[in-house]
Amino acid sequence: MYINKIEIKNFRNYEKQEIELNPHINIFYGDNAQGKTNILEAIFISGFGKSFRTSKEKEMIKLGEDFLEATVFYQKSDRDGKIKIELCDKKNIFINGNYCKTVISNKKQIEVNGVKIKKLSELIGKINLVIFTPDDIQILKSGPEKRRRFLDMMIGQLRPMYVYILNLYLKTLEQRNNYLKQIKEENKPESMLEIWDEKLAEYAEIICKYRTEFIEKLNSKIKEIHSEVTSNSEEIKIEYITECNNREIYLQLLKQRRKLDIIKGYTTKGIHRDDFKCIINDKEIEVYGSQGQHRTAILSLKLAELYVIYDEIGEYPILLLDDFMSELDEKRRKSFLSYIKDTQVIITCTDKMELDNLNEYKLFNVKNGKII
């Protein structure tokens, strides 16, 4: 799997740019704030339908413009494809052919091979991506939300049904939380909660099964990878933390915590609060790990994700590295490169990077939203 070409228009600081990529290594280099990461963002949004940098999508539209386009042409083993993203911030209203007014629309349209899609789940998995950013170290250092997001993104690429069930769970959770507030403020009957409890428990059990399955898959890969990266000095494992892996158990938990949920006005337990922890040499890295151990562990985790995806689909995903190589010492860099030799890699860095041990790579000098 690889990307042949990217076309972007009014994307961040790019007015119009067409980029033909090497099927192997692509290095975008230049000073900070020139637009290197914007290329990765354009690819990422074509794979996931959203940015990894912002939840405010209109920020991606070039200043002074009211729309953007990002088109990715890709090749898989059995077919080629095209994904086009359009985002419009404003819309001109005409009546009888005459301009009437401009309204804020913030409308996003996604096409796969020329066909408009209605649901994000129809996009996920068309191109498979693994992304490294300097902020990814926070997956292991910060709270559980980032770890759940990591799991959700990985599983969602491979199991479209997971995205569908997760969205159903989150929608039901929102409805239950709203009703909890109504019980507290308007004395609504508590018995109605059983409707949402049943649905939450049904969806939670399915989601937990998916997450448990993929934690096991990650563990089957990460142990060997981490052992090699650390010269056999560290042993790593991932443990999934949940209280909702069984429908009946979760129903009982919801019932036990009902009074507390009403007082607080939200659902205090559920898969939306699940977590996983990374254990190195029998110690939890979030508590006892050094900065170097965190960097090595996230490297191993991302490489394990890459190999899990390969096992699932029979092709390596595309690897996006945002200034990540600068975070690695020479030893880790060499170890890392040995794992990605069969993968298309798109790298951003400040300095022109020469890779002596790799023959096929392409360099792109980025300056002020242009490839020069």
What is residue 15's predicted lDDT score, i.e. its pLDDT? 93
What is residue 93's predicted lDDT score, i.e. its pLDDT? 55
- 22-53 tens-digit pLDDT: 999 999 999 999 999 999 999 999 999 999 99
Confirm whether 10 is domain-assigned.
Answer: no
What is residue 74's predicted lDDT score, i.e. its pLDDT? 95
What is residue 290's predicted lDDT score, i.e. its pLDDT? 85
What is residue 105's predicted lDDT score, i.e. its pLDDT? 63
Return the minimum-mean-pLDDT range out of 7-11, 296-300, 311-315, 329-333.
329-333
Q: State the pLDDT confidence band at 12, using cuts at 50, 70 and 90.
A: very high
Q: Which of 204, 205, 236 is nearest to 218 (CA)?
A: 236
**Cα 342 to the chain's mean position, in Å?**
22
What is residue 2's predicted lDDT score, i.e. its pLDDT? 93
Q: State the pLDDT confidence band at 193, using cuts at 50, 70 and 90.
A: very high
What is residue 81's predicted lDDT score, i.e. its pLDDT? 93
What is residue 356's predicted lDDT score, i.e. its pLDDT? 62
Q: State the pLDDT confidence band at 340, using cuts at 50, 70 and 90.
A: confident
Q: At residue 234, what are phi and psi to the nearest 5 degrees? A: -135, 145
Q: Which residue has the higher pLDDT, 326 or 235?
A: 235
What is residue 249's predicted lDDT score, i.e. its pLDDT? 93
Q: State the pLDDT confidence band at 252, using cuts at 50, 70 and 90.
A: very high
Confirm whether 12 is domain-assigned.
Answer: no
Confirm whether 236 is domain-assigned.
Answer: yes
Q: Which of 82, 12, 15, 72 is nearest to 44 (CA)?
A: 72
Counted domains in the chain: 1
Confirm whether 188 is domain-assigned.
Answer: yes
Q: Is the pLDDT of residue 215 over 60?
A: yes
Q: Is the pLDDT of residue 279 over 80?
A: yes
- Integer Cα distance of 36 and 53 in angstroms: 13
Rounded mean pLDDT of the chain?
Answer: 89
Q: For position 284, which CATH number holds?
A: 1.20.1050.90
Say if strands 2-11 and 14-20 run parallel, antiparallel, or are unpaired.
antiparallel
Q: Which residue has the higher pLDDT, 229 or 70?
A: 70
Q: Is the pLDDT of residue 283 over 80?
A: yes
Find tokens 């049943």 and name the residue. Answer: 198
Confirm whether 1 is domain-assigned.
Answer: no
Q: State the pLDDT confidence band at 208, using cuts at 50, 70 and 90.
A: very high
What is residue 327's predicted lDDT score, i.e. its pLDDT? 65
Q: Is the pLDDT of residue 275 over 90?
A: yes
Q: State the pLDDT confidence band at 360, using cuts at 50, 70 and 90.
A: confident
Q: State the pLDDT confidence band at 91, using cuts at 50, 70 and 90.
A: low
Q: Which residue has the higher pLDDT, 197 or 354?
A: 197
CA dihedral 33→34→36→37, nearest 10 degrees, is: 30
Task: Tell me the residue range of the domain where 194 lies.
Answer: 131-314
In a 10 Å sphere around its CB, with 0-12 CB exposed, 13-18 middle and 19+ buried, how is residue 101 labelled? exposed
Confirm whether 224 is domain-assigned.
Answer: yes
Q: What is the 3-state secondary structure (H, E, C) of the chain?
A: CEEEEEEEEEECCEEEEEEECCCCEEEEECCCCCCHHHHHHHHHHHHHCCCCCCCCHHHHECCCCCEEEEEEEEECCCCEEEEEEEEEEEEEEEECCEEEEEEEEEEEEEEECCEECCCHHHCCCCCCEEEECHHHHHHHHCCHHHHHHHHHHHHHHHCHHHHHHHHHHHHHHHHHHHHHHHHHHHCCCHHHHHHHHHHHHHHHHHHHHHHHHHHHHHHHHHHHHHHHHCCCCCCEEEEEECCCCCHHHHHHHHHHCHHHHHHHCCCCCCHHHCEEEEEECCEEHHHHCCHHHHHHHHHHHHHHHHHHHHHHHCCCCEEEEECCHHHCCHHHHHHHHHHCCCCCEEEEECCCCCCCCCCCEEEEEEECCEEC
What is residue 357's predicted lDDT score, i.e. its pLDDT? 58
Confirm whether 370 is domain-assigned.
Answer: no
**pLDDT > 70: what percent of the chain?**
92
> What is the reported pTM?
0.86
- Integer Cα distance of 46 and 347 in angstroms: 17
- 101-148 tens-digit pLDDT: 555 566 889 999 999 998 888 898 899 999 988 888 889 888 899 999
Q: What is the 3-state secondary structure (H, E, C) of 182-203?
A: HHHHHCCCHHHHHHHHHHHHHH
Confirm whether 303 is domain-assigned.
Answer: yes
- Integer Cα distance of 370 and 77 in angstroms: 31
What is residue 344's predicted lDDT score, i.e. its pLDDT? 94
